[in-house]
Structure formats: structure tokens, C-alpha cells
Amino acid sequence: MQVAPRTSNERARLAALYDAAILDTPDENEFDQVVRLAAETCDTPIALVTLIDEKRQWFKARQGIEDKETHRDLSVCAHAILGRGPFVVRDATLDARFSDNPLVTGAPHVRFYAGIPLLTSDGFAVGSLCVMGTEARELSEREERALLVLAKHVANLIDLRRAANNTHRLLSELRERSSTQERITHTATRLLTVVAHDVRGPLASIISALDFNDADLTPLREVVKAQAILARDLLDQILAWARTMMRGGPTVEYNVDMVHIVNEVIQGASLAASQKNTLLHADVQIPNCDTDPNLIRFILHSLVTNAVKYTSEGEVTIRLHKHDKGASLEVVDNGLGMSPETLRRLFDWGSRSVSVGTHQEKGAGLALLLVKDFCDLLGWTIRIESQLNKGTRVVVTCSELPIFATS
């Protein structure tokens, strides 16, 4: 068995991997979807998102293998990260580098391997997206294109985490230096934590990479591209709001088209809702108002995404109503609901815990906490009514004009 040599930039490569703070994190649906798509596209029983640590290979997502990690000396992916393009082994039993590898001679009896290096934006190969089979074979051009697209998708997820973590550290330093900006910096830090944990999707490069013509790959392309566009747009909105907060607070724009914003949010949530046979409705009685559009988009997106997460075979309704002192925004669902104990701890940062949706989606439990922080900062109120197995109603009320001035 031939052990892969260390990369020529090993120390910097490991630093890039550690910057992402992704090793030993729980399973996440966004990465799990990638390995499912890779295995399905290439018709292989095994697919992995592998990260190459100093002495081990650790699987962020896996299909067809139970182990979470193996020793780096056994890793075929450690060979894949030595190059920049696809690394293919047609028959491992005939390859002197791998013929006596325990993964070849024993379970899972690997014969075929194809891996794509996960290259960060600054060129470090932190791991590999790979597929493996138990029969010798070639990798088709179509399969190679699909793996390249999916590997780019994963690399962008990792880049996004690195950027968010570095920004988080910078904001923490700024908070220590400036007591007068402590509250704003604290909120912005929490906001960027959401970027690190909840915004799952690549940036504009992955969207452009998906602009190819291949009828066989159209379903794969459309699913990944829809997620990428949604993530990019949400990231732009969050970062715009963060910049606003760092400048001292929200910025009112006049005559904001609320119907357009609500429709944007519904469109962004439509894919997840359709997968659960959940209907999305809107009742917008305030077509225009003077407000901060980035703030409204973020609050609406957070509430609607949360409602869809915990609803299946049901309905989610957005209501925007005018009242004597301002306006109220409601998101109502008939999903899983919450117990009185969960409601009591809902806005306690110290009691935050991960929960799963109706399709086992995982989240960091941060969205509602951040919405509450924004409401407190602006003098708005948020009220949540919920019953187990009956649903949840979230009401955000604003009475301070002109931050949410009806027109």
C-alpha cells in the first residue's frame, strides 16, 4: 500500500481547513444532499465529502459507509488532493498504490474510485468529494461534469464558513476596543454567526458554473442552482443589514414594495415547501411602506423558513396588516408546534438547542433569537403563540414611525 505524501503546502492547507471550523461538526442536510446526488448521478453505493486532517480523513457527509473517519494512511482521497482535477482509479485491485489497502481487500471492497479535490478560493485542497464502487469501471464525461459542479458547491460552503468565522473574530476584536459600539457589534457578531451556520449555499461562482447544457443533468443543475441563488441573495441581504448596523442603525427607504418582498420570500421558500406538500399564502394589506427593506426581508425569510421547517402537508400564511399605531407582520403555520417549556426558553441564548424539522432538517436555533434581538433594538415587539401538533403564530408589531411607517 502506498501512503500519499503530504502536500507541498501542508501547513497552510491545514490552516485553511481549520479556519472553516467544520471538523467534527454534526451531519448537515446541505452536505448530505451532495453525497446523495453524487451517488445517484454516478450510480455508486458509496459517496463521501472527505476532509483531510493531519492524521485522519474525516467524513462531513457519507453514504454507504458507517465510519465517521479513518486513518489518513488508508485514504485514497489523500492522493486526490495532490492534484487539481479529477483523480480516478478504474480498478484498485490492479493499482499497486491501493491493491493491498484494507478498504480494497476487505469491506467495503472498493474497486472503482473517483474524487474531485475541494479547492478553496485561495487554492488549498482541504478534502475531496468522491464516489466509490465495488466493480471496476470508468468515469463518464457526464459523471465527471456533475462531480465537478458538486465539488465546487461544497468548496463554496467551506469558503463561506471560513469568511464568516474570520469576520466573527474581527468583530469580536472590534467589540473589545470600542465600548460605545458594544451593542451594535454584539448584534452584528450574532448575525454573522447565522451566516456561518444557517446560510447554506455557494456564491455567484457556483451559479455561473451551473450554466451548462446537458439534458441528463438538468434536475441536478436546477436543484443546486435554486439553492445557490437563494443563498446568495440572502447573504447579500444579511451583509447589507450588517453594514447598516455597523453604521449605527437601520436606514429607511421610502415607498418600499412590500408585495414584491413577500413574493421574493415565498419564492425562496417554495422549493422546500413543495417537497413537503405545504402551501404558502400571503395576505398583504400594506402594499407600500417606509422601512428598511433588508431588515424586513431577513425577518420574513427567517420566520417563513422556520415555519416551513416544522410543517408538512400543511399551510404557511404571511399576513401584513395596518393598525392604529403602526403595523403588524404575522407568519402562521399548522405544523408541529411547541410545548410551553420550549416557548419559555425560546429567546434564551443560553438555552439554545438544535432541533429537527419534519424532514429531519437541522438548524442552529439562531434565527428567532436574532429576530428578537432586532425587534428589541428597534423597539418592536414579537409574540409567539404555539400548541403542540396544532401550529405556531408569530406576530411582529411595530409602533415606532417611520421605521415601519404605513403609507
Ranges 14-18, 182-186, 275-279, 324-328: which has the least confidence: 182-186
Higher pLDDT, 68 or 208: 68
| Residue-wise pLDDT tens digits, 192-247 | 555 544 554 444 445 555 555 666 666 666 666 666 656 665 565 566 556 555 55
The mean of the pLDDT values for the chain is 82
Give the class (CATH, top level) of 250-407.
alpha beta
Residue extent(s) of CATH 3.30.565.10 domains in the chain: 250-407
Task: Judge whether residue 64 has pLDDT over 50.
Answer: yes
Helices (H), 214-355: 218-246, 258-275, 293-309, 340-345
- Report d(CA 128, CA 368) in Å as an integer: 34
Q: Is the pLDDT of residue 393 over 90?
A: yes
CATH 3.30.450.40 residue ranges in the chain?
Answer: 10-139
Q: What is the pLDDT of residue 305?
A: 87
pLDDT, tens digit, 9 for 90 and up, residues 327-357: 899 999 999 998 888 888 888 766 656 566 7
Q: Alpha carbon of 81 to those of 55, 109, 387: distances in Å?
A: 14, 22, 50
Structure confidence at residue 173 (pLDDT): 66
Please state which CATH class domain 10-139 belongs to: alpha beta
Confidence (pTM): 0.51
Confidence at residue 372, expressed as pLDDT on a 0 to 100 scale: 85
Lookup: cell for 157: 460552503
Q: What is the pLDDT of residue 232?
A: 62
Helices 141-177 and 218-246 sit at what angle, rounded to 10 degrees?
10
Q: Give the model's pLDDT for residue 230.
A: 60
- Give the H or E element holding residue 290: strand 288-291
Burial class (CB in 10 A: 0-12, 13-18, 19+), 378: middle
Amino acid at 234: L
3-state helix, strand, coil in the chain (%, to 5): 45, 20, 30
**What is the tens place of the pLDDT at every residue in 105-148?**
999 999 999 999 999 988 999 999 999 999 999 999 999 999 99
> Is the pLDDT score of 406 beyond 60?
no
251 or 306, higher pLDDT = 306
Predicted pLDDT at 208: 56
Q: What is the pLDDT of residues 28-51, one digit of tens each?
A: 988 999 999 999 999 999 999 999
